[in-house]
Structures are given as C-alpha cells and as structure tokens.
Amino acid sequence: MRDLFSVKDKIVIVTGASGGNGSVISDGLEECGATVVRADLPKYDVTDINHLDDLVDDTLFHNGEINGLVNCAGVSYVNDLFEYTDEDWDNTYQVNLKAPYELSRKVAKYMKKKGGSIINITSLNSELGFPNNPAYVSTKGGLKQLTKSLAVDLGKYNIRVNNLGPGYIKTNMTKGSWKNRRKEIEDRTILGRWGEPEDLVGTVIFLLSSASNYITGQDIYVDGGYLAKGMK
Amino acid sequence: MRVVITGGATGIGKSCVESLSSIGMNIDLIYFSSHDEAIKLKSDNVNIHKVDVTDEEQIKYFFNKIDSFDILINNAGGNISFNSTDKYLLKDWNKTYELNTTSVFLMCKYGIPVIKDGGKVINISSISAKSGGAEGGMAYASSKAAVDCMTKSLAKELSSRNICVNAVSPGVVYTKQHEKFSSEEYYNSLIEKIPLGRDGKTSDISNLVKFLCSVESNYITGQVVEINGGMLMR
C-alpha cells in the first residue's frame, strides 16, 4: 500500500527548481526517493528550445527514462496596463506557456512506452483576474487549458497531465503582496494563513504517484480555500 | 485516527474502508441495506453500524455514542430512478435528495459538534454534478451539485476549527448504481468518452480519499477534486 503513494526511483524533471516553490518541491521529491533533475538558469533556460533539448537529452543520458515532469518555472512582471512592455509580455509568454508546451511534448515522447505524469503549476490567476499583470493572468489561464489539451492527446499513452494551482504561497514572487496585502490575503483565505512551499509537496507527490492513476486533465488548487471562499 | 464513513459496505465506500483500515485507522462503518457485505468488513478496527442516513433520529443516536472522531466521509448516496421530468415522481425526487443531500447535512449537523479540531470532512460527489448527468437523471445530478456547494460553504464555516472540507467527484466507476441502471452497451459508450480509455476502479477513488485524509493535504479546502480519467475537464 505504501508503494501507492511512492515516487521512489522515479525520474522527475522540475523546471524553475531554484525558485521558492521549485526548490522545496525538488527537495521533497528527493527526500521521498525520486531522482530529480533540477532545471533552472543558467544551464537550462526554458525559453531556449536548444536548452530544452539538452535537458531531455541529459536526463535520458544519466537516467535512462523520464517518469515525471513538473513545469514550475514561472515569471511575473507587474506593471500598469498602459506601461506594460512588449518585452515583459513576450518573456512571460515564453516562460509560463510556451516552455511547458514545448517541454511536455518533448518529454511525452519518451513517456509513451511506460506512461507518466506531467504537472503544470498554474495559479489563482488561471481562474481570477488580478490587476496590472495582463501577461501573467493570461498565460496562467492558457496553461490551465494547455493541460486539458495535453491530457486528451496523451491519455492513450497513459500519460496524465494535471494542474496544481497554488494560492498565496510565501515566496520571492509574492513578496510584494506579502509586504502590502498580507492581512487582506490572510482574511480572504479560508484557512486564515498564507501557504508555505511545503504545502504543495504532498499534492505533487500524489499526482506523480500511482495513487492518482485515474486523475487527468484536472485542477487541484492548494490555496487554503482562497478560490472557494468567493466573496469576502 | 477515527473515521466515520457512510455507505461503507460496498463500492467506493468499501474500498475506502479497506484502504484506511489497512493503515491502522479505526473505522466506524455505517451501512443500511448491505448487511451481508458490512459483516464481512468487520474487524478489530472496523466497527459496523446500521444507520439510515436519511433519518435524523438515527443519526442523532449514532453520534450520541461517539465521543470524538477525526474524519467524516459522507459517501452514502445513489440514484432512485431515471425518468423524463414530466414523468418523474415527486416521491423519487424527494428520496434522491434525502439520500444524497439531506444525509450530508444531517451527518454534518450531528457529526461536526464531535469531530476534532484539525479534522477532515470528505464528501463523495459525482461527475454528474458538473455534467448535468445522464438523461433522466436530473434529480441525482442536481442533488450532487448541492453537495459540491455544501462542501464550499462548510469549508468556510469550519475553517476557524482548522477542519478542511473537500469533495471527491468520481467519473464512471462500476458500482451497484451502474449494475442496476446501465446496460452493457451504454456503459461501454461511456468508456469511449474517457481519454485514459478505462473506467475508474474503486481503489482509484479511495486513493484520492486517502490523500485528502492525510496531513499532506492540509492546505486544500473547499475544493471539488475531479477523478474521471479525463472524461470531464473544467
């Protein structure tokens, strides 16, 4: 029964592995016996298609196969709508949406034989609108739908694709909100607290393990009830 | 850990009982019509109780005997009949709601005062809550949609006690319901719509329930987690 929730000996690529969530997710997976390929800058720039090829090649060269992929790399640039730069828009799109698309396709080719699990880290922004961040809101909305498209196309290979949507998690990316809106967000969250990156680890393990073998194309929000709460 | 589960003798409930008791949890298994099946599950850490979950007095009596417990799994439910709306009997409509919706309310009404702070409530819903259900199944589908909503309301209400409330929403799983209502042809046509190409096993569902019982899901509340092989994604 314990094997059911196990990621032991699974080969898992985590992008954005140096970030607040990515690093803790990677640590957690390793603690549970997975082999984690930590993909992050400068060695692996997910916006560079050649780097993605290298990432897959390196992973296969060292480990023989790929069982899991966690698309965790993400960027967010806050700016007034009328000041929003093309550069920020393009970069957000490249990292948050194009990279998961490209990397998932590449990795899925090698998962076809034995099946696998892909997790896209979405966001509250996949469901709700937030101010001054058109690129982030729309790419996270797009990522949510990309997951469904991949789930449909890859289901026949027993490759499952799901979204994990974190709520307000205390990381570098949310430090602005932590500073300016900490209390407001606490009050808006059913469980009355911000999340820690550790809160995400269990769901990642669950979605990578055979305990979730019949779950695909779904959204699991680990948000302390932020979305469920609706009005204040 | 002590778990109270309704509809625990067969199908998804049975799988939950087997899975949770195997890791040492103490189970109070509530059943109503499936006596023979319930007896078979009885063990050192599985107690069985015959309770009609649509009967307020019986539920009150049951919880009077329980000092405290950790996890409530509202699994009992079912479809009473299929029919077009103009032919659907009000009696069947009411019975469907009593079985699927009012039962959850009553189990919470009397269970919540004795559940421990930091505990968990897990409601078993259905894909039909979002899809509208099979033709002629409006009563069932809408009674489960109410359960999805109750899950969110309860999550808010119980947050101050750090009790997480979530729903598990299975797709096609071959249980007594399908045995009773679905022809082989219809059942196979359902499976053709599933990206993973198979129906769900009861163990698929109990694995998710087990995760939601664990501390690893402590920041998940007010969610309806769909488990349907990709049959419905939204």
The domains located in chain A, with CATH, are: 2-224 (3.40.50.720)
**In chain A, where do the E strands start and end?**
11-15, 35-39, 68-71, 116-121, 159-166, 219-222
How far, in Å, CA of A126 to CA of A123, rounded? Answer: 5
B131 in A contact zone (CB under 8 Å):
no
Nearest chain B alpha carbon to A207:
B208
Nearest chain A alpha carbon to B197:
A156
B162 in A contact zone (CB under 8 Å):
yes
B222 in A contact zone (CB under 8 Å):
yes
Q: Nearest-CA distance from A80 to chain B in Å?
A: 31
The domains located in chain B, with CATH, are: 2-173+202-227 (3.40.50.720)
Distance of CA B99 to the CA centre of its chain: 11
Whole-structure pTM value = 0.86
Interface touch B219/A201, C-beta < 8 Å: no
Nearest chain B alpha carbon to A157:
B196
| pLDDT value of residue B177 | 83
Q: What percent of chain B has pLDDT over 90?
A: 96
Q: With the C-alpha atoms ordered A99, A105, A109, A110, is the resulting torsion angle positive or negative?
A: positive
Residues of chain A with pLDDT under 70: 1-2, 230-232
Choice among B31, B88, B97, B140 that is catalytic: B140
Q: Model confidence over B114-164: pLDDT tens digits?
A: 999 999 999 999 999 999 999 999 999 999 999 999 999 999 999 999 999
Is B37 a residue whose pLDDT tops 60? Answer: yes
Average pLDDT, chain B: 96
Q: Which chain A residues are Cβ-neighbours of B195 within 8 angstroms?
A: 151-152, 155-156, 216-217
- B182-200 as b/e: b if 16+ CB within 10 A: beeeeeeeebeebbbeebb
Instruction: Confirm if B148 and B167 have CB atoms less than 8 A apart.
Output: yes
A32 in B contact zone (CB under 8 Å):
no
Q: What are phi and psi of B161, to 5 degrees?
A: -100, 10
| pLDDT value of residue A1 | 47
B225 in A contact zone (CB under 8 Å):
yes
Mean pLDDT along residues B173-182: 88
B60 in A contact zone (CB under 8 Å):
no
Instruction: Confirm if A55 and A13 have CB atoms less than 8 A apart.
Output: yes
Interface of B with A in 163-202 (CB under 8 A): 164, 171, 194-197, 200-201
Instruction: Confirm if A46 and A103 have CB atoms less than 8 A apart.
Output: yes
Q: What percent of chain B has pLDDT over 70?
A: 100
Interface touch A206/B211, C-beta < 8 Å: yes
Q: Is B140 a catalytic residue?
A: yes
Interface touch A215/B160, C-beta < 8 Å: no
Q: Nearest-CA distance from B163 to chain A in Å?
A: 9
A201 in B contact zone (CB under 8 Å):
yes
Instruction: Give the three-state DSSP class for B94.
Output: helix
